[in-house]
Amino acid sequence: MFVHVRERRPRGDFWSLDREVDRIFRDFFSDWSLPVRNDSGVAVSQEKDGVTLRAEVPGIDPADIKIAVDGRTLTISGERKSPERPEGTYRLREARAGNFVHTFDLTATLDADAVTAECRHGVLTVRIPKRPEAQPRQIEVKSS
């Protein structure tokens, strides 16, 4: 099964086995159009007319999220800032603050110029449609 979006991992060989497992997992599930979550926390859904990426970005202002397309590379980056609080003490701190970057390689069937994004209730949804010529088509059967 063809995978339209593959995440590029900046890490070394340590992850190669993980990457292979992830690839098989994703290839298997792409047949079922189920979102597949990789270890970066970005869910990738393969659809008939394109691909949807879904990332949880709680506590991040949409103005602090950048989506960049350079050739066939799509990069989502941003920063979660620590909330401003009066002088006091943290008793427990589980939420992660700081920077994040996800880089994806897009196949040529996807239209990198038509990427749209929306952020709602702390969830970022990025939609990458297929090129018009790669969209599924209905062929009309004429009667003679």
Q: Which residues bind another protein (CB under 8 A)?
A: 56-61, 83, 85-96, 121-123
How many alpha carbons lie under 13 Å from residue 96 in its C-beta half-sphere? 7
With residue 27 as reference, give the H or E element that holds it.
helix 16-30
* Nearer residue to another protein within complex by CB, 95 or 101: 95
Q: How far is the CB of 47 from another protein (least distance, A)?
A: 18
Residue among 109 and 125 whose Cβ is closer to another protein: 125
Provide the CA 28 distance to its chain's centre, in angstroms.
18
Residue 26 beta carbon to another protein: minimum distance, rounded to whole angstroms: 21
Residue 118, CA distances (Å) to 5, 11, 104 in order: 19, 28, 18
- Using the minimum distance from each CB to another protein, give the nearer residue, 4 or 38: 38
Judged by beta carbon, residue 39 or residue 61, the one nearer another protein is 61
How far, rounded to the nearest angstrom, does the alpha carbon of residue 87 sit from its chain's CA centroid?
37
Phi, psi of 2, rounded to the nearest 5 degrees: -80, 135
Residues 6+ apart with CB under 8 A from 138: none
Shortest CB 60 distance to another protein, Å: 6
Q: Is 28 helix (H, G, I), strand (E, B) or coil?
A: helix
Min separation Cβ 4 and another protein, Å? 24
